[in-house]
Amino acid sequence: MRRVVVTGLGMVTPLGSGVDATWSRLVEGQSGAGRITDFQVDDLACQIACQIPRGDGTDGTFNADEWMEPKEQRKVDPFIVYAMAASTMALRDSGWEPKTYEEQCATGVLIGSGIGGIGGIYEASATLIERGPRRISPFFIPGRLINLAGGYVSIEHGLKGPNHAVVTACSTGSHAIGDAARLIALGDADVMVAGGAESPINRLSIAGFAACRALSTNFNDDPTRASRPYDKDRDGFVMGEGAGIVVLEEYEHAKARGAKIYAEVIGYGLSGDAYHITSPSEDGDGAYRCMAAALKRAAIDVSEIDYVNAHGTSTPLGDELELKAVERIMGNAAGKLSMSSTKSAIGHLLGAAGAAEAIFSILAIRDGIIPPTINLDNPSVETAIDLVPKQAKRKEVNVALSNSFGFGGTNASLILRRVS
Amino acid sequence: MSDVADRVKKIVVEHLGVEADKVVENANFIDDLGADSLDTVELVMAFEEEFNVEIPDDAAETIVTVGDAIRFLEKNAA
């Protein structure tokens, strides 16, 4: 199998537009959470979210007009705009601009989303009911479809290789990167633009996730403290939005063009819980098996893992189950492991979460800095694992593992390693 | 220029993201203003909305230039 490396990174998150703005604020321990002001929330159980800071593009703000023409933005849900922005950032970062027909055909796209254009579907439903079918835009369907994120990106950059999309709820971003890496490993493409994008902050989504009892509701007056993985006062996740995109590349292809190489994707594991539609299996077996599958593929010893970027959503049940599964797989090596949940700072980006968190894992390798689990005042359980409470930590990271688990019992783990 | 022409021109500029000076009467939406088939459907919807008129599909198919739209709406809009 061919080796696959990461040569470009791009992201739009509640901490900022771009990798640098997001990473510096993440390491500082900032929170992206705040009260929702874009729509009526007074009748919603959850009134907070981690929203992308919008502005003119300076100081880490997100200016959509820099990434997609206003007339095109109007046709699509924001997840597509975020995907366009993060993909362009990642491609620029990688320096890869396919120009010849052969280069274009060897470059593909695999961008997923958990629920795609739910905001636009909600609005169009209201239009249909109130004003009838003749008022439904011809862009309604193409602007909501999950694979249209990849469609738009391929059109913008002339990428004619595999064009695929993943939909596995909160595991989407990890599955997208893992599957894209396999397409390169198997020779279907030399370069893949891969990741996830999500725009779920609207009345319908908040109401729906609140009905699942998945969202934090105790911190409406103190939003930056709401996402608190492993803390005893945690009461659910905080919705986020954004996109994380990486450029994956076959190792020799990257080397031949002198590309900067961030890390190698050495392991990818998948599993299913076969247990419940929203709850993780009580024994954490699904999480354990997907980490074990990724380790087997990576062909490394578990003691080589320096850092785990946890799924850690801040839900009462999920955090401890994942922690137990990580303790079980690490065995005697648990004592030297650091594991943090960056959802404490950016919230839960659903289908973009795994991709954003893979990028954080890569940056931990690059900089030797582990981002903190903010708001972790009082851990709900004792563990030998360092959960990196409140403050970032300097530590050499050669190997990082990133976990993502989704509704439906779908699990994915990625293992990334420094390329020396 | 008539009031109808001004309003048509404004809609075309907004929806197709083109410069106002390119939106002349004989400009073809697809050939001259960069619209695709979906854009033209949406343009017709925008005309219906602005002028509070229903444009049947067979009539919509005959509206291919800015002038076509102005003439149709001057004749049919209330």
pLDDT above 60: residue B1: no
Task: Give chain B's radius of gyration (CA, Å).
Answer: 11
pLDDT above 70: residue B78: no
**Nearest by CB: A71 against B17, B41, B45:** B17
Residue A241 token pair: 């939005």
**What pLDDT does A72 receive?**
94
Q: Based on the number of CB atoms within 10 Å of its own CB, is A408 exposed (0-12), middle (13-18) or buried (19 or more)? A: middle
Using the Cβ of B73 and the Cβ atoms of chain A, whether some distance falls under 8 Å is answered with no
- Min Cα–Cα distance to chain B from A135, Å: 7
Mutation to test the B interface, candidates A65, A131, A137, A155, most B Cβ within 10 Å = A137
Using the Cβ of B48 and the Cβ atoms of chain A, whether some distance falls under 8 Å is answered with yes
pLDDT, one tens digit for every residue, chain A (420 residues)? 999 999 999 999 999 999 999 999 999 999 999 999 999 999 999 999 999 999 999 999 999 999 999 999 999 999 999 999 999 999 999 999 999 999 999 999 999 999 999 999 999 999 999 999 999 999 999 999 999 999 999 999 999 999 999 999 999 999 999 999 999 999 999 999 999 999 999 999 999 999 999 999 999 999 999 999 999 999 999 999 999 999 999 999 999 999 999 999 999 999 999 999 999 999 999 999 999 999 999 999 999 999 999 999 999 999 999 999 999 999 999 999 999 999 999 999 999 999 999 999 999 999 999 999 999 999 999 999 999 999 999 999 999 999 999 999 999 999 999 998
CB pairs under 8 A between A and B: 20
Count the Cβ atoms, other than its own, within 10 Å of residue A51: 21
Which CATH number covers residue B31? 1.10.1200.10
Entry pTM = 0.97
Alpha carbon distance B9, B69 (integer Å): 10
Please list every residue in chain A whose beta carbon sits closer than 8 Å to the beta carbon of residue B17.
69-71
**Nearest by CB: A137 against B16, B17, B45:** B45
Q: Indicate yes or no: CB of B17 within 8 angstroms of CB of A135.
A: no
Q: Indicate yes or no: CB of B45 within 8 angstroms of CB of A134.
A: yes
Q: Determine contact, residues A275/A318, Cβ cutoff 8 Å.
A: no
Residue A6 token pair: 């990461």
What residue type is A260 in one-letter code?
A: K
Alpha carbon distance A15, A31 (integer Å): 7
Mutation to test the B interface, candidates A71, A134, A137, most B Cβ within 10 Å = A71
Using the Cβ of A39 and the Cβ atoms of chain B, whether some distance falls under 8 Å is answered with no
> The tokens 């958990």 sit on which residue?
A114
Q: Indicate yes or no: CB of A137 within 8 angstroms of CB of B16.
A: no
Sign of CA dihedral A16, A22, A28, A30: positive
What residue type is A42 in one-letter code?
A: D
Q: Based on the number of CB atoms within 10 Å of its own CB, is B56 exposed (0-12), middle (13-18) or buried (19 or more)? A: exposed
Per annotation, catalytic residue among B36, B39, B57, B58 = B36
**Nearest by CB: A138 against B42, B48, B49:** B42
Residue A366 token pair: 């690059």
**What pLDDT does A252 receive?**
98
* pLDDT average, residue stretch B30-35: 96
Q: Determine contact, residues A275/A410, Cβ cutoff 8 Å.
A: no
- Using DSSP, state whether A414 is helix, strand or coil: strand
For β-strands A410-417 and A399-406, DSSP reports them as antiparallel
**Nearest by CB: B45 against A71, A135, A142:** A135
Residue B45 token pair: 């919807």
Enclosing domain of residue B26: 3-76
**Which residues, in sequence order, are bridge partners of residue A250?**
A4
Using the Cβ of A396 and the Cβ atoms of chain B, whether some distance falls under 8 Å is answered with no
Q: Indicate yes or no: CB of A135 within 8 angstroms of CB of B41.
A: no
Residues 6+ apart with CB under 8 A from B56: none
**Which residues, in sequence order, are bridge partners of residue A249?**
A5, A191
Q: Determine contact, residues A267/A295, Cβ cutoff 8 Å.
A: yes
Q: Which long-range contacts (CB under 8 A, 24 or more apart) does B1-10 make?
A: B2/B70, B2/B74, B4/B51, B4/B70, B4/B73, B4/B74, B4/B77, B5/B70, B7/B50, B7/B51, B8/B47, B8/B66, B8/B69, B8/B70, B8/B73, B9/B66
What residues of A are annotated to the active site? 170, 311, 348
Using the Cβ of B59 and the Cβ atoms of chain A, whether some distance falls under 8 Å is answered with no
Residues 6+ apart with CB under 8 A from A55: A61, A62, A63
**What pLDDT does B2 receive?**
74
- DSSP type of residue A26: H
Q: Indicate yes or no: CB of A69 within 8 angstroms of CB of B15.
A: no
- Using DSSP, state whether A313 is helix, strand or coil: coil
**Nearest by CB: B16 against A71, A138, A139:** A71
Q: Determine contact, residues A10/A242, Cβ cutoff 8 Å.
A: no
Q: How many domains does chain B have?
A: 1
Of A332, A346, A344, A339, nearest to A401 (Cα)? Answer: A339
- Min Cα–Cα distance to chain A from B1, Å: 26
